[in-house]
C-alpha cells in the first residue's frame, strides 16, 4: 500500500506505541492531521501550542513514555520552544512534530516561515 507523508508519519507513531498526541492544527500540518481520523491515536486539541508542549511533557512525566506534540509551522513552532527547552533541560522524553513551508519556499520569508531548526539548536 502506498502512503503519503502524513499517513507514513502517523503509521510510524502507531508502530512505536504512541497513544496520544497533543496538538493544534494549522495550515502547514493539516496533511498529517487527516490520517489521525482513522488512527487509534487520540488527539487532544489544545488552545495554544505552548499548552501542547507542556501537556506532552506532563504526559511523559506521568507515564514514563515519550510525550508527543504536533503544531503548525512558524509561530506555531516557535510557541512550543519553551516547553521543548524545559523537557530538554529536565531530560523528559518528548517528540515535537511541526509543519513547514514547502521546500521551494524555505528562505523566502514565506507565510508562517521560521527557522525552527536554527532556533532549537
Q: What is the pLDDT of residue 104?
A: 83
Q: For residue 5, tell me if it sits in a domain.
A: no
Q: For residue 64, tell me if it sits in a domain.
A: yes
10 vs 48: CA distance, rounded Å: 22
52 versus 1: the higher-pLDDT residue is 52
114 versus 78: the higher-pLDDT residue is 78
Q: For residue 22, tell me if it sits in a domain.
A: no
Q: What is the pLDDT of residue 24?
A: 97
Q: How many domains does the structure of the chain reveal?
A: 1
Is the pLDDT score of 79 beyond 80?
yes
Q: For residue 42, tell me if it sits in a domain.
A: no
Is the pLDDT score of 102 beyond 80?
no
For residue 60, the domain's CATH number is: 3.40.50.970
Helix (H, G, I), strand (E, B) or coil at 113: coil
Q: What is the pLDDT of residue 85?
A: 96
Helix (H, G, I), strand (E, B) or coil at 22: strand
pTM summary value: 0.91
Is the pLDDT score of 80 beyond 90?
yes
Q: For residue 30, tell me if it sits in a domain.
A: no
Is the pLDDT score of 105 beyond 80?
no
Q: For residue 12, tell me if it sits in a domain.
A: no
Q: What is the pLDDT of residue 60?
A: 98
Q: What is the pLDDT of residue 119?
A: 79
Q: For residue 4, tell me if it sits in a domain.
A: no
Contact by Cβ (8 Å): 67, 22: yes
Contact by Cβ (8 Å): 113, 103: no
Residue with C-alpha cell 501537556? Answer: 55
Q: For residue 80, tell me if it sits in a domain.
A: yes
Range of the domain at 59: 49-121
Amino acid at each position: 500500500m502506498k502512503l503519503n507523508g502524513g499517513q507514513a508519519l502517523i503509521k510510524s507513531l502507531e508502530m512505536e506505541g504512541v497513544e496520544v498526541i497533543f496538538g493544534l492544527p494549522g495550515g502547514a500540518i493539516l496533511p498529517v492531521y487527516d490520517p489521525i481520523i482513522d488512527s487509534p491515536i487520540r488527539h487532544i486539541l489544545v488552545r495554544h501550542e505552548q499548552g501542547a508542549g507542556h501537556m506532552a511533557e506532563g504526559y511523559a512525566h506521568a507515564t514514563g513514555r515519550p510525550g508527543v506534540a504536533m503544531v503548525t509551522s512558524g509561530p506555531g513552532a516557535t510557541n512550543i520552544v519553551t516547553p521543548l527547552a524545559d523537557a530538554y533541560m529536565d531530560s523528559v522524553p518528548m517528540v515535537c512534530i511541526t509543519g513547514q513551508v514547502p521546500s521551494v519556499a524555505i528562505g523566502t520569508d514565506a507565510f508562517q516561515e521560521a527557522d525552527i531548526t536554527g532556533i532549537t539548536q
